[in-house]
Structures are given as structure tokens and as C-alpha cells.
Amino acid sequence: MSALSILPYTAEQQERWDHFVMEQSANGTFLQTRRFLNYHPAGRFRDDSRMIFHKQELVAVCPAADGTIDGRRAFRSHPGSTFGGLVVAPALQRAPKLVELTAALNDQLRADGYEMAELKQTSALFSRQPDDGLEYALYQQGYTQEIEISCWLPLDRPYEELRKAYSFNKRYDLKKAEKQGLSLTALETEDEIRQFHALLCLNLRKFDAVPVHTAEELIDFRHSRLRDEVRFLGLRTADGTLAAAACLFYFAQTNVLHTQYLATDTGITAYVPSTLLYDAVIREGLRRKCAAVSFGTCTHDRGRILNTGLILNKEGYGTQHSLNRIFTKIL
């Protein structure tokens, strides 16, 4: 019998939860804190997050919701976050303990009537410690995995050297964009953030998609909920038109700047403003003395479809690859 107890999260535990994720865990980020997850209005998801204790010590948390996958009642990583999954204490990073944790969670979920579990683990790029032991424990307990591929760039060289590693086409497009007299500014006001969101919606419309976050939610992130983690950059033409813009998330645990959203004015055909935007993000990462910049995933359908054009675009800046793993199990 496991010495672990698995209890539902309650609002009274928010401060303890967030302190564990940000200060005491091996693989937690602000995306798994309640101050981030709670931006969702009550009722959007049926939250069923769990806190795992060894005696009275909090050793793991799992932000999750009660949902349905393929007709099965599913305990799934919180839909409001890119990464959910198990967030564990460094002291738990021993293979036997991780296997015990995973087995105990499975038993509890079965007892609670779940038919399936889905855990989206934090990418190694954003984790203080590798998740390899936990990934093994999930495999050992019968989970299968799906894999998304992402692109990131280590900022371990001066800008001039990083720029030399861009592909020939990127260097050509960048020089052409630099001649257009675009100005790079931070987008701070509510109106500026709404302009960014409108541009993003136009970009996604051709894919019959909408942004995960509303304009009001992005404003809330920048001005209140995530003041230290969220920034917006914009490139404007001489007449003030927003030619391209980015929403950036900052992951303090590994000092990585991540492009959560990128948007460009698709009506501009004389040059490629997105090239200058990617370059601006890299320069912003260097200015902030970040270890790396992340340009996000390049796949659809949980990694099964590679967006070739998108990944070739990101690889054109000399990027490397990282993986996001989604673990699922029929209970």
C-alpha cells in the first residue's frame, strides 16, 4: 500500500500550491500555478486538480480537469495550460518513488471513476531538472506517448555570430525588412494589446481557428496576473500600422523567453516583416540575458502532422529541437 495520499485541490490551498510549483518543484512553471490557471472563468472546465502528500509534506501536484476523450471519462491535464502533468519535488526524483507515485495516481483515478488519464508533461526546455525518471515511470505504468517537436535557440554567442547562422534566405529577407524603417516598440496599453489580438485573429482565420486567449485575458496577463512573465513586442510602419507583433512568455526557472503568439500583417507582400520580428525576439532575449529563446511547436494533431513550412521557417534561424510529450493511459 502506498504511503502517498492524493487529495483534491481546494481554493484554500492556492498559496501553498503556487509556492510549491514555483519554489519547491523540479519541473513546475508559472503555467501550472493557480494564479495562471484561475484566469479561466468558473464553469469553463470542471477542475479536478490533485495534491499529493507524503505524510504532511506536499511532494507533487497535478493541474487537471474532468473531461472526455474518445468517449471516455478522462482525467486530463488542465486544458487551460500548455503543460500540466505531474509537477514533482526534487526529493521525489528517484525511479522507485516515481513509479510509486504514478501507480498511486492510477489507483486513485480508477477509484474515482475515471476511464482514461492524459498527462502533458513540462518540456525539458522549461524544467529545472530533467523529467526522464518520471517519463520512465509513466511508461512502466502502461502510458503511451505522443510527441510534439519544437524549435529553440541557445543564446550562447554574440548577436553577430547568431545572425551569421541564419540561412541565406533569412539573412536576405532580414536585410530587406530592415530597409523599411519599421520601429520596434513594446505594446503596453489595452488598445495596443487589442490591436495585437485582432491581428492574431486575422492570421488564424485562414486555419478556421481562434486564439486560445481572448484580448481581455491577454490584457489581464500583462497588467495584473502575469506582469513579470508576459510581454508584447510590435513592429510598426511609418504610418503606425502594426506590421508584426509577438506575445512573449518568460520562464524564470530556466531563463527562457518563449514566443507564445506571433502575428503578421498578411497584406504586406513587398517584404517579410516576420523575419524582422523573429530577429527582434532573439535580440530581446540577448538584451534580457536569457539562456535561450523558444519558438514553439511545429506540429498539429498531437504531433502526428509536421507543419513543414513552419519548422523550416524556424530552423532558418539556426534553431535546435526540443520535444513536448503527452502521456495517455486507458485505466
What pLDDT sits at residue 45? Answer: 80
Q: Which of 302, 306, 304, 307 is nearest to 326 (CA)?
A: 302
CA–CA separation, 255 and 126 (whole Å): 8
Type of residue numbered 190: E
Instruction: Beginning with the edge strand found earlier in the chain, give each strand of the sheet holding 50-54 in spatial order.
Output: 4-8, 50-54, 57-62, 87-88
Distances in Å between the alpha carbon of 158 and those of 129, 173, 233, 258, 283? 27, 21, 21, 19, 10
CA–CA separation, 262 and 29 (whole Å): 21
What pLDDT sits at residue 41? Answer: 65
Give pLDDT tens digits for 134-174. Answer: 999 999 999 999 999 999 999 999 999 999 999 999 999 99
What pLDDT sits at residue 153? Answer: 98
pTM exceeds cut of 0.75: yes
Unique residue bearing C-alpha cell 478522462:
74
CA–CA separation, 293 and 57 (whole Å): 35
The two beta strands, 299-300 and 305-306, are: antiparallel
CA–CA separation, 2 and 92 (whole Å): 14
Query: Which DSSP string corresponds to 52-115?
Result: EEETTEEEEEE-EEEEEETTEEEEEE-TTSS--S-EE-GGG-SHHHHHHHHHHHHHHHHHTT-S
Residue pair 78/17 in contact by the 8 Å Cβ criterion: no
CA–CA separation, 134 and 3 (whole Å): 18
Positions of the chain with pLDDT lower than 70, given as ranges: 1, 41-43
What pLDDT sits at residue 44? Answer: 72
What pLDDT sits at residue 42? Answer: 65
CA–CA separation, 105 and 4 (whole Å): 9
